Amino acid sequence: ADGYYEYTMSECVYSTSDYSDMVFLQSYSFNKVVDVQFNSTVGKFVGYTEEGVKYAENFNKNQAILQQLKAAVDTFCRHNAQIWDSSVRDKT
């Protein structure tokens, strides 16, 4: 079908049981191409397309949003990973 496909994806990536390597990623995509992404390790938005670079410049001016997204590693990722991991470990 004709149309556009735009979406945002948030993910927590880690490989250690103590979550010391945990990274929060928030990606904004258009027609299956990632335009811009926030990476908690980098601490800012990075643009991957011409439009994404413009979005990143604007997003990175908003310090309140950047602080909120940096904190998502603890407030969202670690918190939920502890719940999810313990429920999986308890079942095995």
| pLDDT value of residue 28 | 97
Listed residue (53, 24, 22, 12) closest to 36, CA to CA: 53
Amino acid sitting at position 2: D
Q: Write out pLDDT tens, residues 3-52.
A: 889 999 999 999 888 889 999 999 999 999 999 999 999 999 999 999 99
Listed residue (18, 22, 23, 50) closest to 36, CA to CA: 50
3-state helix, strand, coil split of the chain in percent (to 5) is 40, 30, 30
Q: Is the separation of the CB atoms in 9 and 27 below 8 Å?
A: yes
* Token pair in block for residue 32: 């299956």
Q: Considering the domain 6-82 in this protein, what is its CATH number?
A: 3.10.320.10
Long-range contact list for 59-64, CB < 8 A, 24+ apart? none
